[in-house]
A and B are shown apart, each in its own frame.
Chain A
Amino acid sequence: AQKVTQAQTEISVVEKEDVTLDCVYETRDTTYYLFWYKQPPSGELVFLIRRNSFDEQNEISGRYSWNFQKSTSSFNFTITASQVVDSAVYFCALSGNNAGNMLTFGGGTRLMVKP
């Protein structure tokens, strides 16, 4: 069985602060894929990143960066210099090798960035 845990249900920061969203996963698959999605109030899930289990390189995209550590089964997401527009619910998700692209989502972290 696959499981994704986002222990932080809600985080509140002041604009320009850095913030890290934690994600811990469980899977028995040797090949798997990890994702982060953003869900603004409109409800649509916006894809942010996909990472496969063989690629542990950290990735940076503008103010966003991701830290994948297989040894601790974690795939954390950091927003640098947060902005009000970053306010949303963020979901970490996992897709196993034999699951097609069925996604197992974590419970989400609500990020509130105050001006």
Chain B
Amino acid sequence: ETGVTQSPTHLIKTRGQQVTLRCSSQSGHNTVSWYQQALGQGPQFIFQYYREEENGRGNFPPRFSGLQFPNYSSELNVNALELDDSALYLCASNDEPGQPYEQYFGPGTRLTVT
């Protein structure tokens, strides 16, 4: 059991709205990464947080933002939702950002934008 949890499981939003997705990392893991997985595709890296600071970012616009808290929880915020934001959002945690060990993934939040 990985210990990474995400909430909510499913979410339906309307175009233009804002959404917050939550992740609780495995205890002791101070690095969290977020990925977007569109239907039928592989996950794409959004950004990574390490000790509450952004530590790397993929090719996503600024309306995708994040927060990481000292209690191993984190948030992904998406503003001005677009239809193409409909996807499975996965968070993953691990010990240190520089170590390419296996990341432990949560079950994901499926976001539908209508």
* Chain A interfacial positions (CB closer than 8 Å to B): 4, 6, 33, 35, 37, 42-47, 50, 91, 93, 95, 99-108
Contact = CB atoms under 8 A, between A and B. Distances in A.
A4 to B, nearest CB: 8
B103 A47 contact: yes
Interface of B: 2, 31, 33, 35, 40-45, 48, 55-56, 58, 88, 90, 92, 94, 97-108, 110
Contact of A50 (B41, B97, B102): B102
Given A100-B56, A101-B97, A102-B58, A44 B43 contact: no
Contacts of A104: 45
A2 to B, nearest CB: 10
A47 B43 contact: no
B88 A43 contact: yes
Nearest to A44: B107
Contacts of B110: 43
A101 B94 CA distance: 9
Nearest to A37: B105
Given A105-B43, A107-B41, A42 B97 contact: no
A113 to B, nearest CB: 20
Given A50-B101, A100-B55, A45 B43 contact: yes
Nearest to A101: B100
Nearest to A98: B98
B24 to A, nearest CB: 14
18 contacts: A4-B42, A35-B102, A43-B88, A43-B110, A45-B92, A45-B105, A46-B105, A47-B104, A93-B42, A100-B97, A101-B94, A101-B100, A101-B101, A102-B48, A102-B56, A103-B35, A103-B103, A107-B42
